[in-house]
Chain A
């Protein structure tokens, strides 16, 4: 065996000169990284020169459509390659040329905290709600795109508390998060008209003003017919957002569902008091602004900074263009057979069904997709209800990619597993559609009168789906296809 190794080594040395330019690029990249587990400026520039000098196919993938070197693609490839070579480098370890940062127009951030009586239970002495809000306000104050941070309470009307808040003002606002200060701030605290609050907030949201709305979002029909009341609220919210979209076509909304300890009186949909409720309850933080403002917030990683995190996130955006996320048809696993010659172009050729006894007659393949550039929550892409396939004969399963060391999956966030028993020549379109995600419906209560005894009710919000449906239907009318992202795969037998 040793002889074989020796001869193999000699031959490998002999044939070293046969490597392609792309192979030499890989070798150099590996040598640079092995040196000090970093790619210094000089080394990076040397790699870029190699890309510049060669027209080999491998290098084309590192260039943009106009033939210029795309540093993002270079870094992404290097990370994938190092991952395959079991080298733990991150993008921070690779020197990258500084990209010119265009200074985004600053905008005001107007925070509206609901101060209805239903919120009192969240602002107890040791409330995580208070610390989350305090941390959020501090992060918003530090946000470089923020012009001024204005703090308000809101019930039937906005109640300004601090205009252009300083750090001391935020501290003071935090200390005043208690029922007595809520009460002294005024307004109609006895009932919650969410539609009216949202309308006021929408009127205050434009390219110069981003709104942050914090509320438990529990509707208060009072003695009215609850169903009629909720239908009315849905219609009004739908109308408000449709009008807001007309004046601000770039309107975007992000809703975070957070959880905090609730200690106090809960008002059910009859406004009946349930005293001494002590449980974790959901509340919601809404960000309403233009897509640019929202994108800036996402880039600032504001949602990751939220203390205690969030349970669910929903992004609602006007559909301007159908985005095409990057994807890669996986070589394996597969059911049946296909040629790999055009896989990189999204084309499966020579497809045939399986002859194995276990999967006879089936054809299947996996597609790795990168949804990281989407503002939408990663969990949204796990729900197959949010997908539309052009061929209904295909079944779809979606999984999140958790293996960060797999070079074949590096740079991708989700795996789509497709399978059919009726293989034919076609272009299979996989559309991701905009709609209210399933968590909205599981978080909705239609009767919260048994909150003391029913544990599941404690985690729900009365009428929440009417609220979200009103917003979603304004952005994604049911009469439209509402395709947000799309992937096309050509399959040839």
Chain B
């Protein structure tokens, strides 16, 4: 699971948005620089991203399920909410670690790495929201938003 999320966030090694050192920190490289035995943040943040995105999707489509929130622009509002929250979560956790110096002293971590990981998480949450809100099979359980996607109505 760790490597699954790692390859997602590292964009399969094609367009890394942050350093390899940040990748190792998020895999759980421990403070004594020995092994991947610290908290595997990739897994936790990956699951948080999925759950949070799913919850906000459910909020728009199934909890609120309102005719006042079923336009394309509303889809974008919820999408931006998902992007913002997921960015903040993925930025804040390594940023806190960085500020506290709570990491292996041989890793070169910078604030731009935290921003890069935040963007990566935000992008994947957006893609996930895009996918789940595009599948008619899931949307059809909504009364007022069953036709709401990022391109319509």
| Chain A residues with CB under 8 A of B24 | 331, 340
Docked CA distance A207–B117 (Å): 64
| Chain B residues with CB under 8 A of A11 | 88-89, 92-93
* Chain A nearest CB, measured from B125 CB (Å): 15
| Chain B residues with CB under 8 A of A408 | 32-33, 104-106
Known: A15-B48, A19-B39, A331-B106. A77 touches B32 (CB 8 A): yes
* Chain B nearest CB, measured from A275 CB (Å): 60
Are B30's CB and A330's CB within 8 A? no
Docked CA distance A19–B99 (Å): 18
* Chain A nearest CB, measured from B111 CB (Å): 10
Instruction: Name 30 interchain pairs, CB-CB below 8 A, sorted by A.
Output: A4-B92, A7-B92, A8-B99, A12-B92, A12-B93, A12-B96, A15-B44, A20-B39, A22-B37, A22-B39, A23-B39, A57-B36, A58-B35, A58-B38, A80-B34, A81-B32, A85-B31, A328-B33, A330-B106, A331-B29, A331-B107, A332-B107, A343-B35, A344-B35, A406-B105, A407-B31, A407-B33, A407-B104, A408-B33, A408-B104
Are B92's CB and A8's CB within 8 A? yes
Are A330's CB and B88's CB within 8 A? no
Q: B95 in the interface, Cβ–Cβ < 8 Å?
A: yes
* Chain B nearest CB, measured from A279 CB (Å): 48
Secondary structure type dominating chain B contacts = loop
The 4 lowest CB-CB distance pairs between A and B, nearest first, are A58-B37, A344-B35, A408-B33, A332-B106
Closest to B93 in A: A15
Q: B16 in the interface, Cβ–Cβ < 8 Å?
A: no
| Chain B residues with CB under 8 A of A384 | none
Docked CA distance A80–B33 (Å): 10
* Chain B nearest CB, measured from A27 CB (Å): 10
| Chain A residues with CB under 8 A of B40 | 20
Docked CA distance A332–B95 (Å): 21
Are A344's CB and B34's CB within 8 A? yes
| Chain A residues with CB under 8 A of B107 | 331-332
Q: Which of A33-68 contact B (CB under 8 A)?
A: 56-58, 61
| Chain A residues with CB under 8 A of B106 | 330-332, 408
Q: A410 in the interface, Cβ–Cβ < 8 Å?
A: yes
Are B93's CB and A84's CB within 8 A? no
Q: A104 in the interface, Cβ–Cβ < 8 Å?
A: no
* Chain A nearest CB, measured from B152 CB (Å): 34
Q: A100 in the interface, Cβ–Cβ < 8 Å?
A: no
1/0 per residue B75-94: CB within 8 Å of A? Answer: 00000000000001100110
Q: A18 in the interface, Cβ–Cβ < 8 Å?
A: yes
Closest to B114 in A: A8
Docked CA distance A36–B104 (Å): 25
Once A and B bind, how many residue pairs between them come within 8 Å at the CB atom? 91
Q: Total interface residues on A, using CB and 8 Å?
A: 36
Docked CA distance A61–B38 (Å): 12
| Chain A residues with CB under 8 A of B33 | 328, 330-331, 407-408
1/0 per residue B10-38: CB within 8 Å of A? Answer: 00000000001000100011111111111
Docked CA distance A205–B107 (Å): 53
Docked CA distance A20–B44 (Å): 9
Task: Please indicate which of the listed interface residues B20, B24, B33, B39 has the most CB atoms of chain A within 10 Å of its own CB.
Answer: B33
Are B32's CB and A407's CB within 8 A? yes
Docked CA distance A20–B32 (Å): 16
* Chain A nearest CB, measured from B39 CB (Å): 4
Are B39's CB and A18's CB within 8 A? yes
| Contacts A11-B92, A15-B44, A58-B30 supplied; 17 other A-B pairs, CB < 8 Å | A7-B88, A8-B96, A11-B89, A11-B93, A12-B93, A12-B96, A18-B48, A19-B39, A20-B40, A22-B38, A80-B32, A81-B32, A331-B33, A331-B104, A332-B106, A340-B29, A408-B32
Are A20's CB and B38's CB within 8 A? yes
* Chain B nearest CB, measured from A356 CB (Å): 15
Are B31's CB and A84's CB within 8 A? yes
| Chain A residues with CB under 8 A of B102 | 85
* Chain B nearest CB, measured from A88 CB (Å): 16
Docked CA distance A7–B95 (Å): 11
1/0 per residue A2-30: CB within 8 Å of B? Answer: 00100111011001001110110010000
| Chain B residues with CB under 8 A of A15 | 44, 48, 89, 93
Docked CA distance A410–B104 (Å): 12
Task: Please indicate which of the listed interface residues A11, A26, A81 has the most CB atoms of chain B within 10 Å of its own CB.
Answer: A11
Are A84's CB and B32's CB within 8 A? yes
Docked CA distance A328–B104 (Å): 14
Docked CA distance A340–B29 (Å): 9
Docked CA distance A238–B35 (Å): 47
| Chain B residues with CB under 8 A of A23 | 38-39
Docked CA distance A82–B86 (Å): 33
| Chain B residues with CB under 8 A of A8 | 92, 95-96, 99
* Chain A nearest CB, measured from B110 CB (Å): 15
Docked CA distance A107–B39 (Å): 52
1/0 per residue A329-349: CB within 8 Å of B? Answer: 011100001001101100000
Closest to B89 in A: A11
Docked CA distance A8–B108 (Å): 21
| Chain B residues with CB under 8 A of A56 | 37
Docked CA distance A434–B104 (Å): 36
* Chain A nearest CB, measured from B85 CB (Å): 9
Docked CA distance A8–B96 (Å): 7
Select one of A19, A26, A328 contacting B34, CB under 8 A: A328
Known: A15-B93, A23-B39, A331-B29. A61 touches B34 (CB 8 A): yes
Docked CA distance A289–B94 (Å): 57
Docked CA distance A13–B28 (Å): 19
| Chain A residues with CB under 8 A of B88 | 7, 11
* Chain A nearest CB, measured from B115 CB (Å): 11
| Chain A residues with CB under 8 A of B36 | 57, 341, 344
Closest to A8 in B: B92
| Chain A residues with CB under 8 A of B30 | 58
